[in-house]
């Protein structure tokens, strides 16, 4: 499915994204080490066993990446110019290796770009849920979106 044009978004729209993903041990270790986050709670079973969680936590930036990446196909695929920023990033409940996640997106707002006439800004609130429907992450993302091309 192609992404939506700026004009297609309306405040209050909700997307319950179809895709799910199970976060594996390999995903968590590779992501953490690739991004040079050597926090033992992400990469060491022995170290994580000594924490309150007793097992490795999924790296929160992997969660954030999935919140955006898993929502692109339904919202901004091929129609976004750029991400302008993310705010209000929160992780109210931990994710663990083996958890299966799904995403939900709410269109919070949209407005015309003041400096780019063929584009507009859409604010999307992404939410990440685990297999038990527990909210594990949220973020608001400002996306600079293309307007629908004018027919020749």
Query: What CATH number has the domain bearing residue 78?
Result: 3.10.129.10
pLDDT digits (tens, 9 = 90+) for 56-71: 999 999 999 999 999 9
Q: Tokens in use for 12?
A: 């209050």
pLDDT digits (tens, 9 = 90+) for 90-143: 999 999 999 999 999 999 999 999 999 899 999 999 999 999 999 999 999 999
pTM of the model: 0.93
The rounded distance, in Å, linking the Cα atoms of 97 and 22 is: 8
Within a domain: 133: yes
Q: Is the pLDDT of residue 152 over 80?
A: no
Report the domain count for the chain. Answer: 1
Q: Provide the pLDDT for residue 150.
A: 80
Within a domain: 135: yes
The domain in which residue 89 lies consists of: 6-146
Outline where DSSP puts E strands in 76-148: 80-90, 100-112, 119-129, 135-146
> Which residues contact residue 107 at a Cβ distance below 8 angstroms, ignoring those fewer than 6 apart?
9, 10, 11, 12, 13, 14, 122, 123, 124, 125
Within a domain: 88: yes
Within a domain: 152: no
Within a domain: 1: no
Within a domain: 151: no
């Amino acid at each position: 499915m192609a992404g939506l044009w700026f004009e297609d978004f309306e405040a209050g729209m909700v997307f319950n994204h179809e895709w799910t993903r199970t976060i594996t041990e390999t995903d968590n270790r590779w992501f953490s080490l690739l991004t040079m986050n050597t926090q033992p709670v992400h990469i060491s079973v022995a170290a994580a066993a000594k924490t309150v969680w007793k097992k490795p936590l999924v790296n929160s930036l992997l969660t954030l990446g999935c919140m955006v990446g898993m929502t692109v196909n339904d919202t901004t695929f091929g129609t976004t110019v750029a991400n302008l920023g993310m705010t209000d990033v929160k992780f109210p409940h931990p994710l663990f290796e083996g958890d299966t996640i799904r995403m939900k997106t709410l269109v919070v707002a949209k407005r015309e770009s003041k400096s780019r006439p063929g584009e507009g800004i859409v604010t999307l609130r992404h939410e990440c849920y685990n297999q038990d429907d527990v909210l594990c992450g949220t973020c608001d993302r400002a996306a600079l979106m293309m307007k629908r091309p004018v027919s020749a």
